[in-house]
Structure 1
């Protein structure tokens, strides 16, 4: 049996395809929602779901949640005498869902389609596959959450439509633009924030409550008290979705602290977080080259979209009411079950071809020469974000020095123009014939497939030799030695004109625009940033001031044209 699973930050669900429709499977408590919480009891036995969630307040040292946020990293959580990686904790949740299905239908579950946020990196996707394998599941297919939601909404049954999926869950925010035509569902663009969700809204409310009490509370950093505060914040946030006011109440050792909140006060507290939703939406629209008026439908997904504040924001952004006729908590699991049925070629389903995009740009480190000056650490994107996969792209580079005998190709993932701000994926050493600088040309081809594998193929036309590297490791994990080295490097920094706030703000703006733009516009921003950094190196205050004004004027013109 193949099942569809929504492995969520806050809650997880499982569904199967039965009698021509997706069917959610209840857990042992009769609920479709299984909290993504894992703990140990006093005897060291594993607890998963609601029972573990209840013990978050009473046994915080033996219970953990929100581990999905650390997927693809080396982060470990200690429960009692044992340490767990995020993949292991997720595997325990998956194993519990698998047991629920086997109990309900009396047959073994061997395979699963698991949903992931569209903005998950390669490392996070690989970690999700590993979690499935640890749970005893074959995971040939991951499906992006917005794509799963589109399948569940029935958009796949329409002839032709363009729609946006707004997916705000407990821990992540995704926005995807999809187009359906001729039996194909194509993802045009995806964007998001892997650290923005309902849990962050609760944290903001907790912070407000603690600040209002102005030191009257016991130490709020204590794990036990922290969990109680977060749970009360969630209750208050949900209550304010139904009524005009609610009281935040904390009891401890016979004492009680209370604060009343109105819907307007909640809006003010959450406004900075809600404003962060705009950026990914605007980026996805730009990358897809689609105007808001061209969208046929806006789909809401994720439990946090139940909040009136969020729905009001979405309606204001798009000038229309979004579709919300399906349960936002359940829609992703239903879509994953539909994808499982498509994979099993169920006769009741019309075949739909799903295309996807790579959520991040991938490229190499280069050094550029400007007169007598060399500027290293520059990022050359080869596959840019939101290219439809599978995709293959090639770029040419050349040797930098006379009689150079080797080119070390360092591969990165990300959107920043300097490689130090991107994620290192791997490296490939390529021997080259010794010639004058620039005479030896290398064709660097990147090929990226639906399984998240990146193949780097380097060919030297002069000799006909080829060198190949397949990136399969989990990137982005710093060792303790690397962390210590970075801290030591920071201590050695001296004040330089480029550290002045007026210059750092402009550099940050250049980096932001570089990440938001593509193609020729991205190259233009890159040139402006490179020129400004070279002026900073000269440390001539008058020249820096004049050049800064010119760059700001050009960026203002560029942004007005968006």
Structure 2
């Protein structure tokens, strides 16, 4: 069985293709959304999902979130006594989704299609594959999130030629892809995006505005919020952001030091505060349309995906930019996962699906460092020569000719980069190849540099020295910041020694974490009342008697709701 996984910045989902239809997989709590959070319990046991998210407030130093933004880097997060790379944290979320799918399907799951932002770099894509490997999954394919959303909307089933744009704004990343369907071929014409723009950035804007406008920042007199306090404020900002989807105004309230700070946020003010983020949304859209040589008026449809597209300001922006109301018939949180399940069905050659051929593009330009003439016999190094330009359909092969610029130069060094900047110092270094050449006068030795980029994201650089036809090859399968196979094997062994909280007991652990979070919000007799019920539930939990546990769980849940904690459940 191949499952489809939407590995998100804020939430992740799994889906399967079964009985001619895409089905979302419920987790142990009965929800389709699993928060992309990982934490350590007090006894060193690993918690994932809602149980970990609930501890972001109470135990921020023992909990990690938004690590998808750092995939492909060497950044490490300290949880307890151990440090974890983004791939490892992501693998724990993937492992939880794998176990949920196995419990729901009643059979082992070993293969998966994982979606990634279309604008993910080679390093980020390779890191995602490593995360799948660490989770015990064979990653059959990485599917771009906008393409998955298009599959979920059933674009591939249309019988006519069509051009459409997918506007995918998730918790931490933004993608825009322009696709064209003709004769059973779904072709990605162009893609653009911002890997550090998502719903979480809109929340940060609200947090900063509340600090300055509620009087809280002045009261703090230059001191900083600690991890728990800041997460509490982020939770309140998230609630306010969501409230504006249903109302034109909402009031935020925050307690600290026996004082309540409040502030009214209106939809118009929110739009004004987020103007710089709205402009950042416009830029990738304009670039994708320009690269695809398509006008907005020529699009047949605009599809929204990603939970952050629920914000009215985003939907209004899309309507203004494209002169039409976007398609919102699917839950934006679920579209990508459902599309991944459709792709799984296509790979399994399910008879209920009409075959569709999909082509993709290189999200970034790939090139080399060269020296350019800036005056008579005067050269300046560090300039970028793109060989494969962004949005070239893959697989692709391109060649450029280079020539020596120094007399009697006896070595040729080719540095390979990825990016769009004029100077290579602002691009991403991928690797280098150096080899001896015959020492001759400047310009008498040249070479052809051929780049070949395949659908799996592997770049091969082949240099042919002229006129000897001597060939030198560099295959770039690893990037700085991505683990080698030896490192993967080592981390697999280390992860196998971790205690993972049992799936069948996660409901109880999640409830305790949610109750602890509510306890920190309460004061006086309400706080004491909740503490007594948490202690009573914990006592029953230690007995491990199923019948008693059900009743105790219902009692604690009712108490939390009575205390105004429905948002914590």
TM-score (norm. length: structure 1)? 0.84
State the secondary structure of the residue aligned to 2:407. coil
The number of equivalent residue pairs is 477
Name which structure has the greater RCO, CA cutoff 8 Å, separation 6+: 2
Name the counterpart of 2:63.
63
Question: After superposition, where does 1:386-425 map in structure 2 within 5 Å?
Answer: 386-425=391-430
1:425–1:476: 8 Å Cα contact kept in structure 2?
A: no
**What is the SS of the residue equivalent to 1:118?**
coil
Q: Does 1:352 align with 2:356?
A: yes
Match of 2:19 in 1: 19
- Tell me how far 1:253 sits from its aligned partner: 4.2
Once residues 187 and 15 of structure 2 are traced to their aligned partners in structure 1, the CA distance between those partners, rounded to angstroms, is 24
Quick one: distance in 2 between partners of 1:265 and 1:366?
49
CA distance in 1, matches of 2:338, 2:309: 17
1:381 corresponds to: 386
For 1:472 and 1:298, the matched residues in 2 are separated by 35
SS at match of 2:409: coil
- Counterpart selection for 1:266 from 255, 266, 270: 270
Q: Distance in 1 between matches of 2:385 and 2:25?
A: 47
Deviations 1:455-477 (A, max 9, x none): 00000131111000001222369
> Which residue number corresponds to residue 259 of structure 2?
255
> Which residue in 2 is equivalent to 1:5?
5
Q: Deviations over 1:443-466 (max 9, x none)?
A: 000000111100000001311110
Alignment correspondent of 2:243: 239
Q: Distance in 2 between matches of 1:285 and 1:265?
A: 30
Q: Does the residue aligned with 2:364 lie in a helix, a strand or coil? A: coil
CA distance in 2, matches of 1:221, 1:186: 48
User: What's the counterpart of residue 444 of structure 1?
Assistant: 449
The alignment status of 1:475 with 2:512, answered yes or no, reads no
Q: 1:247·1:261 contact (CA, 8 Å) conserved in 2?
A: yes
Provide the C-alpha distance between the structure 2 equivalents of 1:305 and 1:468, rounded to a whole number of angstroms.
45
What SS is found at the alignment partner of 1:475? coil
Q: 2:218 aligns with which of 199, 203, 215?
A: 215
Distance 1:275 1:381 in 2: 27
Name stretches of at least 5 consecutive residues in structure 1 with no aligned partner.
478-562
TM-score (norm 2): 0.83
* In 2, Cα distance between equivalents of 1:474 and 1:336: 26
Q: For residue 340 of structure 2, give the secondary structure of its aligned residue in structure 1.
A: helix
In the alignment, what sits opposite 2:170? 169
1:239 shift after superposition: 0.4
Structure 1 outlier segments of 4+, above 3 Å: 217-221
Q: Where does residue 144 of structure 1 map in the other structure?
A: 144
CA distance in 1: counterparts of 2:403 and 2:466, whole angstroms: 11
**Residue aligning to 1:327:** 331
CA contact (8 A) 2:74 2:481 kept: no
**Matched-pair contact (CA < 8 Å) for 1:63–1:79:** yes
* Partner residue, 1:114: 114
Match of 1:496 in 2: none
Name the Cα RMSD after superposition: 1.1
The C-alpha deviation readout for 1:38-65, integer Å capped at 9, x for no partner, is 0010000000001110000000010010
Q: Aligned partners of 1:425 and 1:348: how far apart in 2?
A: 42
Deviation readout 1:79-122 (Å, 9 max, x if unpaired): 11110000000000000000001111110001000000000000
Equivalent residue number for residue 338 of structure 1: 342
Using the alignment, how far apart are the partners of 2:259 and 2:455 within structure 1? 56
Aligned with 1:313: secondary structure?
A: helix
Residue 489 of structure 1 aligns with which residue? Answer: none
423, 430, 437: which one aligns with 1:432: 437
